[in-house]
Amino acid sequence: MTTITNKFVSIGTAIALLSMTIGVPQALSVPKPTNIHIVPTITSVALVNGQLVATGTATATIHGRTTTVPFSAPVDIALAPNQPPGICPVLDLSLGPINLNLLGLVVQTSPICLTITATPGGGLLGDLLCSLGNLLNQGFTLPQALATFTPDQLNALLGGLTDLLNQSLANLYQAVLTLITPDGRHHTCAILHLELGPLNLTLLGLNVVLDNCTNGAITIDITAVTGHGNLLGNLLCELLGGGLINLGATLQDILDQIIGLLTQ
């Protein structure tokens, strides 16, 4: 026998089940993430056989599926020329050029340099760089200077350099397209030339000048390569063929246009 109470329970259960199913089609139709990180994310700076090396990855996630390309480049730290008076020597941190191929976007940059001015008491990283600069000023080589640091100090320094490089490299997305060179080589449609800087930045409590190591603009050349497996190169060539990439666009603008084709 069905009671009024049981009827209310049944109705309540039905409503609960209905509310759980409402929105399922919407949830199933939510688009999977699509993004392009062609500027490498540095995951570590490490001392390898007496040489600092930055390693990281560039990634493209297309409809939830991620392609990862490894990156590594040497890092050097030296005293900047023409030292101004001060407690902390000015340091030049240089990162070797970026060379990678992400699904048909072949990226080549100039060397990338950070001229760093630290302030004593401005933070742990600044204090460590100040100590490093003073050791270099005394005639220590970089490996000799780093060998004087405790393990905790060395880990803090290398972690700080990783963060500093990532914050600096993030600015490359604002590089401006200054030249498009058609390229008739097999499977290549064009080379895009972009430039950035020099920039004066304040990062992690440090004053940083970002340039190409010769006081000029950092350059980024992107070659669009077509063919099987080169989805991003194919799409960039499609945009170029339609006259949809214009001088003055930033690197981020160009990547956004490619993402627009992927998500339309």
- Round the average pLDDT of the chain to a whole number and report it: 90
Read off the pLDDT band of 28 (50, 70, 90).
low
Work out how many domains the chain is built from and give that number: 1
Read off the pLDDT band of 84 (50, 70, 90).
confident
pLDDT at 256 over 50: yes
3-class DSSP state for residue 258?
Answer: helix
The answer to whether the CB of 103 falls within 8 A of the CB of 72 is no
3-class DSSP state for residue 234?
Answer: helix
pLDDT at 105 over 60: yes
At how many degrees (to 10) do helices 124-137 and 151-169 cross? 100
pLDDT at 20 over 80: no
Report, as an integer, the average pLDDT of 156-185: 96
Residue 96 is given by DSSP the state: P
Q: What is the pLDDT at residue 30? A: 75
Q: What is the pLDDT at residue 200? A: 97
- Kindly state whether residue 20 falls inside one of the protein's structural domains: no
pTM over 0.95: no
pLDDT at 54 over 90: yes
Read off the pLDDT band of 121 (50, 70, 90).
confident
- Kindly state whether residue 23 falls inside one of the protein's structural domains: no
Q: What is the pLDDT at residue 29? A: 63
- Kindly state whether residue 122 falls inside one of the protein's structural domains: yes
Name the E strands within the chain.
Answer: 35-48, 51-62, 65-79, 91-95, 99-102, 105-109, 112-117, 176-182, 188-196, 199-203, 206-211, 218-225
- Kindly state whether residue 5 falls inside one of the protein's structural domains: no
pLDDT at 47 over 80: yes
pLDDT at 14 over 80: no
Read off the pLDDT band of 25 (50, 70, 90).
low
Domain span at residue 180? 34-263
Count each helix (H run) and each strand (E run) in the chain, helices first: 7, 12
- Kindly state whether residue 26 falls inside one of the protein's structural domains: no
